[in-house]
């Protein structure tokens, strides 16, 4: 009964430490891939708003559903690996698998934005991928939804960071400050790798 009351799906929103403890008490590994896919799709839809890479909403949906799903899964495991590596530098004790699970459940927070993105697609149609749509078709409703999305993104981002900090603190045996240092080290290495890869591929670009 206690485990049912402390299901991470309920606790993650307001009691992240209890959610992490629940993850350690029971096997919720079956949620990892679905959560990774949903978070990848959410991020993909967000990144492709007003995109210049797609001519229609349909083409964006097809590509994003496939590519972002794969990217979401890869991202969860890469994040866990980097968090594990940098955590060990600070004396952390968390296993790789536990950090994979944490990364997946922390990403659930941003999935809250998915219904709003879908609503924007319904309202805007192909205009969702048109950078000039709002200039040519100003809509009070769409602009209001975009404002809500922007504000909600800030809240979601902050709470995702809180969940990660609390989760790393619990799993690694860190204080909150050391958990934050673990995240900062992870971000520094992640950004450095992305920049290095970007510069590497630019060497082969004809433009």
pLDDT (tens digit per residue) in 146-155:
999 999 999 9
Reported as a pLDDT band with limits 50, 70 and 90, residue 204 is low
Contacts with 32 (C-beta within 8 Å, 6 or more apart), sequence order: 76, 100, 101, 104
Euclidean distance between CA atoms 192 and 198, whole angstroms: 10
Question: Is position 71 within any domain?
Answer: yes
Burial of 63 (C-beta count, 10 Å sphere; 0-12/13-18/19+): middle
Helix count and strand count (H, E) for the chain: 10, 0
The mean-pLDDT minimum among 32-36, 73-77, 137-141 falls in 137-141
Euclidean distance between CA atoms 3 and 9, whole angstroms: 12
Q: What DSSP state is assigned to residue 165?
A: H
Check residues 7 and 32 and name the one with the higher pLDDT: 32
pLDDT above 70 as % of the chain? 95
Residue whose C-alpha is closest to residue 174's, from 99, 97, 69: 99
Indicate the SS3 state at residue 56: coil
The length of the chain, given as a count of residues? 207
| pLDDT greater than 80 at residue 117 | yes
Number of domains comprising the chain: 1
Contact 139, 179 (CB under 8 A): no
Contact 168, 179 (CB under 8 A): yes
Reported as a pLDDT band with limits 50, 70 and 90, residue 80 is very high
Question: Is position 207 within any domain?
Answer: no
User: What residues make up the domain containing 167?
Assistant: 2-202
| pLDDT greater than 70 at residue 3 | no
HSE-up (13 A, CA, CB side) for residue 193: 9
Residue 159 tokens, joined: 């709470």
Euclidean distance between CA atoms 59 and 36, whole angstroms: 22
Interhelix angle 176-202/140-172, rounded to 10 degrees, is: 120
Check residues 152 and 203 and name the one with the higher pLDDT: 152
The mean-pLDDT minimum among 10-14, 26-30, 105-109, 137-141 falls in 137-141
- CB neighbours (10 Å) of residue 109? 22
Give the pTM.
0.86
Residue whose C-alpha is closest to residue 12's, from 21, 77, 3: 21
The mean pLDDT of the chain is: 89
Question: Is position 133 within any domain?
Answer: yes
| pLDDT greater than 60 at residue 205 | no
């Amino acid at each position: 009964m206690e485990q049912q009351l402390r299901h991470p799906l309920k606790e993650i929103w307001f009691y992240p430490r209890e959610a992490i403890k629940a993850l350690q008490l029971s096997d919720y590994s079956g949620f990892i891939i679905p959560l990774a896919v949903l978070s990848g799709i959410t991020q993909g839809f967000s990144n492709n708003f007003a995109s210049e890479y797609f001519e229609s909403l349909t083409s964006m949906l097809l590509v994003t559903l496939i590519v972002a799903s794969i990217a979401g899964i890869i991202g969860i495991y890469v994040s866990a690996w980097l968090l594990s590596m940098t955590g060990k530098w600070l004396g952390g004790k968390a296993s790789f698998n536990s950090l994979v699970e944490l990364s997946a459940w922390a990403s659930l927070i941003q999935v809250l934005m998915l219904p709003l993105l879908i609503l924007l697609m319904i309202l805007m149609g192909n205009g969702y991928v048109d950078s000039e749509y709002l200039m040519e078709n100003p809509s009070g409703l769409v602009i209001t939804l975009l404002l809500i999305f922007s504000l909600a993104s800030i809240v979601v981002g902050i709470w995702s960071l809180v969940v990660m900090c609390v989760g790393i603190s619990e799993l690694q045996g860190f204080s909150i400050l050391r958990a934050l240092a673990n995240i900062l080290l992870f971000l520094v290495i992640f950004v450095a790798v992305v920049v290095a890869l970007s510069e590497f591929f630019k060497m082969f670009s004809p433009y």
